[in-house]
Amino acid sequence: MKTFVIGHKNPDMDAICSALAYAEFKHVTGDTTAVAARCGNTNERIDYVLHRFGFEPPVFLSDVTPRVEDVMETKVITAQAEEPIFHALSRLRTSRIRGLLPVIDRASRCIGLFSTHKLTDYLLLNEPQPGCTIHASLANIRESLNAEVLAGIPSEQPEIYSLLVAAVAEGSFRSLLESSTLQRTIVVVGDRPRIIEMAAEAGVGALLLTGGSRPAAAALTLCEKKGIAVILTTLDTSSTLIHIRGAIRAHQMLEEKFRALSADLTLEAARRTLALSSQSTFPVLGENGALLGVFSKSDFLKPIPRQLILVDHNELSQAVIGADEIPIVEILDHHRLGSISTEAPILFVNRPVGSTCTIVATSYQTAQQPIPANVAGILMAGLISDTLNLTSPTTTAVDREILDHLAQITNIAPTRLAEEIFSVGSPLLTLTSQQAITADCKEYRERGHTFTISQVEEISFSHFPEKRESLLNALETYRLEHGYLFSALLVTDVNTQNSLLLMRGDENYLNQVDYPTEERFVWQLDGIVSRKKQLLPYLSGLLTISERLIKNNL
């Protein structure tokens, strides 16, 4: 089981740093399953901070949807195509696999299946009679019976042998011998010296002696002379005939028509695919038919070997794909409440502070655990980035106290670290327009509408004019591709604490924006720097107005 600590799609500094720091917190408090993860790319500023404090980026997870490979059985009991079915049945009996058994070739490719039902029919319901045939080698027959070789060398080469059961009078037996192809005849006989002698004199292919009775030395000498294999078993004749049938090769019982699965098939898709199938066991195949595992319908009941701790978000629209299909066991966030529901009670910490990193730092304090210097460094970076070094209106007294505490641990002045962070890579200069509008993009759903708000932070607007048109075009393309009501980008100047708002969307909605217009689709938002506390509530409020206008127009 792994517990992935993961931020939202298109993660910002706070999401990445809080995931890393909280995973470290879980480790020091005893949870060794915690792994920091991300479901989007980092950027130059994040990479700088991680390198600055000695961290690798979190594990990348684009999708956590449960799949066949999560619950399939990888310790597979198989049958080799050329081995006796007796061997396969022996392994099947001691395994947890029921029903169908994969048959593989020498390259471990699954070439078919055979079932216990089919084998039962073959071994028991169609019991051989005198004169029936079997396609097997003498060596495999001896092994199936766990028998002793008294004379000759049992051949390894499979042949079609006739089984002649000596259960008749001597005269009748002589007639049977005369009508048989002797070199391809196996005589099955108990303690009947004269029958053994007659078979040896005739030169049959093999003598299979039942009941454990050894023949006379003269008979064995004659068999050695004629090259007749003599095999002795302690089983009675009836049991011997059943075991002989276990000597055929697995490929002779092959069912070539079967349903297989791919390892990356989602469990939901597998459930639909297998709902009406009468097959009980399904090979899971990789490239070139290689057998990776087996899947049975009971595997749907197995727990998925991963769970999530969400940081810096609590809305499924912002979460990694598949988050709604696996357990969410904790949430640490500082945004509005979203739509996530869970099957069981969880730890849900939602505080009106400026940064999720603040919440993680207080978790260390509450647990009376010292914060390592490198962890304190990334917590500082996430807090500084999300509060614009405590100048954002989302900043609280708790944020100030925590930042001061972290600065003492790292011996780094917050102003100095802020200058380092914001001087690294202008997003408008280093990213394409498409990258700029999706690098820190969050999707929201309200009143039946879906929309996105992205944000980039610059140390000035100097690079904005040359990117204005391409940013607006990218927003419109992105909006139309996903069917959003509108897509917005907030470009924030961290020095002046002012922003520019770019929006493309439904005209009835855009016409309600009453901030000063810099030009078409661009508004000037002086003093606005917070997406969640200032911009989102404002844009959400416009939904009511635009809906009323649309209704009146209709």
- Average pLDDT taken over every residue of the chain: 89
In the three-class reduction of DSSP (H, G, I as helix; E, B as strand; rest coil), residue 160 is classed as strand
* Architecture of the domain delimited by 70-121+252-300: Roll (3.10)
pLDDT at 107 over 50: yes
Please say if the pLDDT value at position 547 is more than 80. Answer: no
Q: 34: number of CA atoms within 13 Å, CB side?
A: 22
- In this predicted model, what pLDDT tens digit does every residue of 470-485 receive, in sequence order? 999 999 999 999 999 9
| pLDDT of 129 | 47
Burial 281-314 (b: 16+ CB within 10 A, else e): bbbbbbeeeebbbbbbeebeeeebebbbbbbbbb
Tokens read off for 262: 């791919």
**Predicted local confidence at residue 551, as pLDDT:** 63
Q: What is the pLDDT of residues 31-50, one digit of tens each?
A: 999 999 999 999 999 999 99
Q: Could you say which of 3.10.310.20, 3.20.20.140, 3.40.50.300, 2.60.34.10 is the CATH number of the domain covering 427-553? A: 3.10.310.20
**How high is the pLDDT of residue 235?**
92
pTM greater than the 0.85 cutoff: no
**181 DSSP 8-state letter:** -
In whole angstroms, give the CA distance from residue 35 to residue 3: 6
Q: Tell me the percentage of the chain whose pLDDT exceeds 90.
A: 56
pLDDT at 553: 60
Question: Helix (H, G, I), strand (E, B), or coil: what is residue 269?
Answer: helix
| Closest listed residue to residue 148, CA positions, set 80, 69, 214, 194 | 214
* Highest mean pLDDT out of 76-80, 182-186, 327-331: 327-331
In the predicted model, is pLDDT for residue 437 greater than 70? yes
Structure tokens at 516: 């000063």
C-beta separation of 352 from 11 below 8 A: no
**What is the average per-residue pLDDT within 510-535?**
92
pLDDT for the residue numbered 469? 95
What percent of the chain has pLDDT above 70?
Answer: 94
Residue with the bigger pLDDT between 70 and 114: it is: 70
What does the pLDDT look like over 331-372, one tens digit per residue?
999 998 887 888 889 999 999 999 999 999 999 999 999 999
Residue 157's pLDDT band, with cuts at 50, 70 and 90, is confident
pLDDT value at position 242?
79
Partners of residue 185 on adjacent β-strands: 162
For every residue of 75-144, DSSP letters joined together read: S---EETTSBHHHHHHHHHHSS--SEEEEE-TT-BEEEEEEHHHHHIIIIIT---TT-EEEE-HHHHHHH
- What confidence score (pLDDT) does residue 448 get? 86
DSSP 3-state of 526: strand
Is the CB of residue 140 less than 8 Å from the CB of residue 84?
yes
pLDDT, tens digit (0-9, with 9 covering 90-100), for 125-154: 555 444 578 888 898 889 888 899 999 999
- Which stretch of 36-50, 79-93, 102-116, 253-267 has the lowest confidence by average pLDDT? 79-93
| Torsion sign over Cα 312, 316, 318, 320 | positive
* Range 505-515 average pLDDT: 91
- Say how far apart CA 10 and CA 7 lie, in whole Å: 9
Does the pLDDT of residue 554 top 60, yes or no? no
Residue 98's pLDDT band (cuts 50, 70, 90) = low
Tens digits of per-residue pLDDT, 392-421? 999 999 999 999 999 999 999 999 999 999
Structure-model confidence comparison of residues 469 and 77, the more confident one: 469
In the prediction, which pLDDT does 130 show?
A: 46
When pLDDT is averaged across residues 17-28 and rounded to a whole number, the result is 98
**pLDDT digits 0-9 by tens, 188-197:** 999 999 989 8
- Computed on alpha carbons and rounded to an integer, the radius of gyration of the chain in Å comes to 38
Instruction: State the average pLDDT over residues 78-104.
Output: 75
What is the spatial distance between Cα 527 and Cα 316, in angstroms, rounded to a whole number? 30
Q: Is the pLDDT of residue 381 over 60?
A: yes
- Average pLDDT over every residue of 272-277: 87
Tell how many helices (H) and how many strands (E) occur in the chain: 20, 24
E strand or H helix that includes residue 250: none
Residue 287 amino acid letter:
E
The domain 150-228 is classified under which CATH number: 3.20.20.150, 3.30.210.10, 3.40.109.10, 3.40.1390.20? Answer: 3.40.1390.20
Q: Mean pLDDT throughout 438-459?
A: 90
Is the pLDDT at 549 greater than 70? The verdict is no
Question: Domain limits of the chain?
Answer: 2-66+305-422, 70-121+252-300, 150-228, 427-553
pLDDT at position 416: 95
Q: Give residue 95's pLDDT.
A: 63
Side chain identity at residue 410, one-letter code: T
User: Quick check: 453 and 535 in contact, CB under 8 A?
Assistant: yes
Question: Residue 523 pLDDT more than 70?
Answer: yes
User: What does the pLDDT average to over 307-328?
Assistant: 94
Instruction: Specify the CATH class of 2-66+305-422 in words.
Output: alpha beta
434 vs 80: which has the higher pLDDT = 434
